[in-house]
């Protein structure tokens, strides 16, 4: 076990540390925050001090407390969207691969068409029709993102289903459920876990981006993308206020990417994370 731990490169350790810290903030954030997320504690844009580590925002609220509290929305929404997208994409992908025929054709054509439109544009169309709320955000992003998961799950399952042990199980007369849960899923896990990291990065940046555009998570909830937008003007006066939430977004993305890179290298592929 220790030799295995030593084999983990420094970059992966760095990534794992960043991800763990962010998860802790996600789980405990509001409890750790010294002030309330909508509590006005001073004048707008007061610079960082020993009392307010990251200074105050455009309404005189403590930036540090809002960052801690905002993790709940920023990370929570994207985590929920990624989980839902995987629970849609993986079963459909496996079913398409194992059944083949018209099931595969229909599902693949639908996915291909959805993927022809840039994700941001599709999301904007849906948000125009339904308005922006947390459930709409989560389900829109999950559905759009599940097309990518579907494609990967389908390819991976196709690769596994022709291998000897899957063939043997089929000849033994095992049911489709057994094939999927006992033969395909365990062997498809490594690439799917790496993909989960990538998809999470994508949805996280996507939610933050929508909030930055004012179309994502709405006040009174704090979230990192919205904080960048609200404090954006301060940069023109040489103040760092919007850089703190932007850096928090960047840091988590880099952390997840470092872990994903390590997982992919361990799996022997050279593909990097894509947007």
Count of residues in contact with other proteins, rule CB under 8 A: 50
Residue 108 binding other proteins, by CB under 8 A: no
Among 51, 128, 168, 181, binds other proteins (CB under 8 A): 128
| 131 vs 186 by CB, closer to other proteins | 131
Which two three-digit tokens encode residue 159? 């690769």
What residues between 52 and 81 interact with other proteins by CB under 8 A? none
271, 38 Cβ separation under 8 angstroms: no
Residues 202-231 touching other proteins, rule: CB under 8 A, are 205, 208-209, 212-215, 228
Instruction: Please state the closest distance from residue 92 (CB atom) to other proteins, in A.
Output: 18
Distances (CA, A) of 225 to 118, 148, 222, 235: 20, 24, 9, 15
SS3 label, residue 157: helix
Does 121 interact with other proteins (rule: CB under 8 A)? yes
Return d(Cα 56, Cα 60) in angstroms, integer.
Answer: 5
Does 127 sit near other proteins (CB under 8 A)? yes
Report the site for other proteins in 143-202 (rule: CB under 8 A).
201
**Eight-state DSSP code of residue 214:** T
**61 forms bridges with which residues in the sheet?**
40
273 makes contact with other proteins (CB under 8 A)? yes
Say if CB 208 and CB 74 are below 8 A apart: yes
Question: Which one of 8, 28, 125, 176 is in contact with other proteins (CB under 8 A)?
Answer: 125
- Number of helical H runs and strand E runs in the chain: 11, 0
Q: Contact at 8 Å (CB) between 169 and 183?
A: yes
Please check whether residue 35 is in contact with residue 69, taking contact to mean a CB–CB distance below 8 angstroms.
no
Q: Is the Cβ–Cβ distance between 187 and 160 less than 8 Å?
A: yes
Is 116 a residue that touches other proteins (CB under 8 A)?
yes
Ranges within 242-271 binding other proteins (CB under 8 A): 242-243, 246-247, 249-250, 253-254, 257-258, 261, 270-271
Binding of residue 120 to other proteins (CB under 8 A): yes
**Residues binding other proteins (CB under 8 A):** 11, 113-114, 116-122, 124-131, 201, 205, 208-209, 212-215, 228, 232, 235-238, 240, 242-243, 246-247, 249-250, 253-254, 257-258, 261, 270-275
């Amino acid at each position: 076990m220790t030799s295995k731990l030593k084999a983990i490169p420094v970059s992966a350790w760095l990534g794992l540390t960043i991800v763990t810290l962010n998860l802790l903030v996600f789980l405990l954030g509001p409890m750790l925050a010294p002030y309330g997320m909508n509590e006005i504690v001073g004048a707008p844009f007061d610079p960082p001090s020993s009392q307010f580590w990251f200074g105050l925002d455009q309404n005189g609220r403590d930036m540090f407390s809002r960052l801690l509290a905002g993790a709940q929305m920023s990370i929570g929404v994207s985590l929920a969207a990624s989980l839902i997208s995987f629970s849609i994409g993986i079963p459909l992908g496996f079913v398409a691969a194992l059944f083949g025929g018209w099931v595969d054709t229909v599902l693949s054509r639908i996915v291909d068409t959805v993927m022809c439109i840039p994700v941001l544009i599709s999301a904007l169309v849906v948000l125009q029709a339904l308005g922006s709320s947390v459930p709409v955000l989560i389900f829109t992003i999950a559905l759009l993102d599940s097309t990518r998961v579907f494609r990967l799950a389908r390819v991976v399952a196709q690769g596994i289903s022709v291998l000897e042990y899957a063939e043997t199980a089929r000849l033994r007369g095992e049911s489709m459920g057994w094939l999927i849960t006992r033969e395909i899923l365990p062997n498809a896990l490594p690439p799917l876990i790496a993909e989960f990291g990538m998809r999470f990065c994508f949805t996280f940046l996507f939610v933050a981006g929508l909030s930055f555009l004012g179309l994502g998570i709405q006040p009174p909830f704090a979230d990192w993308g919205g904080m960048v937008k609200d404090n954006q003007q301060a940069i023109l006066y040489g103040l760092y206020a919007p850089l703190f939430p932007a850096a928090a977004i960047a840091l988590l993305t880099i952390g997840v990417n470092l872990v994903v890179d390590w997982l992919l290298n361990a799996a022997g592929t050279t593909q990097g994370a894509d947007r």
